[in-house]
Amino acid sequence: MLQFAPLFPLIYRVLQPSFPNCLWTGNTNCKKIALTFDDGPHRHHTPQLLEVLDYYKIPASFFWLGVCVQQAPQIAKMVHARNHWIGLHGYDHRNFPMLSPQELKDSLEKTQAAIESACNIPGQLIRDVRPPNGFFTPNTLKLLKKWDYRPVMWSVVPEDWVRPGVNTVTQRVLNQVQNGSIIVLHDGYFGGEDVAETTAALIPKLLEQRYEFVTIKDFRF
The residue among 41, 69, 36 whose CA lies nearest residue 153 is 36
Residue 42 contacts residue 188 (beta carbons within 8 Å): yes
Q: What are the phi and psi torsion angles at 220 (to 5°)?
A: -130, 165
Q: Which of 38, 128, 160, 194 is catalytic?
A: 38
38 counts as catalytic: yes
Task: Judge residue 193's burial from the number of C-beta atoms within 10 Å of its C-beta, 0-12 exposed, 13-18 middle, 19 or more buried.
Answer: middle
Q: What angle do the packed helices 195-208 and 45-56 form, to 10 degrees?
A: 20
Q: Which of 89, 93, 186, 194 is catalytic?
A: 186
User: Computed from CA positions of residues 119, 123, 128, 129, in that sequence, does the dihedral angle turn out positive or negative?
Assistant: positive
Residue 116 contacts residue 88 (beta carbons within 8 Å): no
Residue 152 in 3-state DSSP?
A: strand
Q: Which residues of 33-43 are buried (b: 16+ CB within 10 A; e: fewer)?
A: bbbbbbbbbbe
Catalytic machinery residues: 38, 186
